[in-house]
Amino acid sequence: MREELLAIVEKNSRIDLKELAVILGVEEIDVVNELAALEAEGIICGYHTMIDWEKTSIEKVSALIEVRVTPQRGQGFDTIAERIYKYPEVTSVYLISGGYDLLVTLEGKSLKEISGFVSDKLSTLDSVLSTATHFILKKYKDHGTILAKKYEDTREKVTP
Amino acid sequence: MKNMLSEQIKALKPSGIRKFFDIVSEMDDAISLGVGEPDFDTPWHIRDEGIYSLEKGRTFYTSNAGLKELKEEIGKYHRRKQGVTYDPAHEVLVTVGGSEAIDIGLRAVINPGDEVLIPQPSFVSYEPCAIMAGGVPVIIELKAENEFRLTAQELENAITEKTKILVLPFPNNPTGAIMERADLEAIAEVVRKHDILVMSDEIYAELTYKEKHVSIVEIEGMQERTILINGFSKAFAMTGWRLGYACGPKEIIQQMTKIHQFAIMCAPTTSQYAAVEALKNGEADVQEMRTAYNQRRRYLMNAFREMRLECFEPFGAFYVFPCIKEFGMSSEEFAERLLAEEKVAVVPGTAFGDCGEGYLRISYAYSLDNLKLAIGKLAHFVEKLRAERK
């Protein structure tokens, strides 16, 4: 239950306890106790429901990657940026002035996973000229900006 | 021109869902709970693989039965999930959705007059496909008191000398019912005794919320007499890619491949490349979607309890099938009034067979927020009807 509960409140820290109990299929008192335990252990750190995954048994490693790319005619950097930001393990992609073009932040389970992503997926993209990977040792501030497009239901209204 | 049309096709009833679709599509602001497909986008790495295949110019036909690599991945998938072995070269056929597999699977085995056992409520295609294949559909009406599972006794009662094949649609659309191992063992015994075939449509196999899905092919002596149908639409949220497959005995797959070859040629190439990626690296996506569906399922079951609407707890697919018999009106009437008065669209149970009368199919392939909004309106409607009846 712990992992599923965290996943819910990370997205919606204002969800009420009764509803949490319902969708998790447990009693409300269990939700109350579990949330209290999570707070006491410092895993739930504040009202914004920032989760410190370091304190759970779940391993996470973050990295910033400087990427130099060749812009494409007529599309500039947008196409290659999209190509990269659609990978779910990429948490943000910025176009940067200066010595490189794109700043990519990445979350993975281990150093190996991140280096695997860089070598297998990122550096093999045609427009990518070079990458420099910086692993994050400690997070002081996490802005966590989400740039997702608004969900639009484009399905037919009734289907078999 | 006289006799322009086929009498057989003319006599087919149009899908009950189509009729309701026409009503709903006239209302712009209706909230729909009537959709039979996932609300999730196809996971990006799968889409990316499809795009990549286009970029690489993989835009030609594949071999009739499907890409070798995909058939091998399908074989591995069933080895992993069910511990059964299918020879990718002879026992796997990639089709245009599970729907095509249903159609050609029945056509490959039916002789004129053969009886096809179809448990209902169930997906809309089995009955017309059986008829078009020259078979005689025999409906088995599933019962709410059995949680809409098929029992050995019901099967036994429906079997005659002419019975050729049993369609086994679990996890079930529209009821959400599942069959567990013990249920399947009892069915398998009857099937073996009468020496009939099974078409097991397991398109919702990845979406169960109790134990892991059990396939009838895992039961002894069943793989050799079963056409197993599955696909990518529900598990990987890939409905529009139109990709499914059939696994089965070499003899049957060979004949199905013949029909497929003449009618279809091959399944869409882009989709096949994407499907390879889905089977290789899609497990985590499936798990994530399953968790979300399960949360919504629990939410709905609780909402029905609170509004005192009778509903058995379904453990599969993404549908619930509440009973509305207490209101003394037909499913269609209920659904039409709910739409007109509360602007919420659900599908009447009768769209999935006459025995769906008295029930509604409610899909939970919607976000929790969307469900909450719709369920609030449904609760209001239910209260109104109860007040009317006092």
CATH number at residue A118: 3.30.70.920
Does residue A46 sit within a domain?
A: yes
In a domain, A117, yes or no: yes
Share of chain B above pLDDT 70, in %: 100
Nearest CB partner across the interface for B20, out of A23, A155, A158:
A158
Write the residue in B25, B43, B123 that is nearest to A157 by C-beta: B25
Q: At B114, is the pLDDT very low, low, confident or very high (cuts 50, 70, 90)?
A: very high
Tell me: do A72 and A129 sit in the same domain: yes
Cα separation, B259 vs B253, in Å, equals 10
Question: Could you tell me if A149 lies within 8 Å of chain B, comparing CB atoms?
Answer: no
Identify whether residues A46 and A102 lie together within a single domain. Answer: no
How is residue B86 written in tokens? Answer: 């299918």
Whole-number Å distance between alpha carbons of B37 and A105: 33
The pLDDT of B242-260, averaged and rounded, is 98
Kindly state whether residue A73 falls inside one of the protein's structural domains: yes
The verdict on residue A141 lying in a domain is no
Please state, rounded to an integer, the average pLDDT across all residues of chain B. 96
Residues in B touching A87 (Cβ below 8 Å): 44-45
In angstroms, how far is CA A133 from the centroid of its own chain? 17
Is B283 within 8 Å of chain A by CB? no
Of the pLDDT bands very low, low, confident and very high (cuts 50, 70, 90), residue B390 is confident
- Sort out which chain A residues have CB atoms less than 8 A from B313's CB and list them: none
The phi, psi pair for B227, rounded to 5°, reads -95, 110
Is A65 in the same domain as A111? yes
Q: Please indicate if any CB of chain B lies within 8 Å of the CB of A87.
A: yes
Say whether B159 sits in a helix, a strand or coil. Answer: coil
Which one of B15, B35, B99, B233 makes the best mutation probe of the A interface by having the most chain A beta carbons within 10 Å?
Answer: B35
Given CB atoms, is A15 within the 8 Å cutoff of chain B? no
A70 & A132 share domain? yes
In a domain, A120, yes or no: yes
Does one domain contain both A49 and A93?
no
> Which pLDDT belongs to residue A48?
54
| ipTM attached to this prediction | 0.81
**Contact (CB<8Å) A158/B368:** no
Label residue A147 by pLDDT band (50, 70, 90): very low
Q: Same domain, yes or no, for A115 and A132? A: yes
A29 CB contacts (<8 Å, ≥6 apart)? none
Indicate if A44 and A14 belong to the same structural domain: yes
A43 shares a domain with A86: no
B233 close contact with A: CB closer than 8 A: no
Is the same domain home to A44 and A96? Answer: no
Residue B191: which H helix or E strand, with range?
helix B181-194
DSSP readout, B318-363?
TEE--B-GGG-S-HHHHHHHHHHHH-EE-EEGGGG-GGGTTBEEEE
Contact A158 B30 (CB under 8 A): no
Contact A87 B45 (CB under 8 A): yes
Predicted confidence at residue A148, as pLDDT, reads 45
Domains and CATH numbers, chain B: 7-42+284-382 (3.90.1150.10), 57-281 (3.40.640.10)
Cβ burial of A123 (10 Å; 0-12, 13-18, 19+) is: middle
Is A95 a residue whose pLDDT tops 80?
yes
Residues A39, A68, single domain; the answer is no
pTM above 0.90, yes or no: no
State whether A44 and A15 are in the same domain. yes
Domain of residue A67: give its range.
61-136
Q: What is the total count of domains within chain A?
A: 2
> Which CATH number is A50's domain given?
1.10.10
Residue A153 lies in a domain: no
Mean pLDDT of B117-137: 97
A17 occurs within a structural domain: yes
- Whether pLDDT at B90 is above 80: yes
Residue A47, pLDDT > 70, answer no
Q: Above 80 in pLDDT, residue A106? A: yes
Q: Which of residues 351-370 of B touch A (CB under 8 A)?
A: 351, 366-368
Report the C-alpha gap between A31 and A18 in whole angstroms: 9
Helix (H, G, I), strand (E, B) or coil at A93: strand
d(Cα B103, Cα B239) in Å, to the nearest integer? 17
pLDDT confidence bin for B299, thresholds 50/70/90: very high
Q: Choose among B233, B205, B365: nearest CA to B292.
A: B365
Option in B32, B35, B48 nearest A86 (CB): B48
Nearest CA in chain A to B370: A153
Q: Are residues A47 and A70 in the same domain?
A: no
Assess if residue A121 is contained within a domain. Answer: yes
Tell me whether the omega of the peptide bond preceding residue B174 falls within 30 degrees of 0, making it cis.
yes
What is the average per-residue pLDDT within B264-268? 97
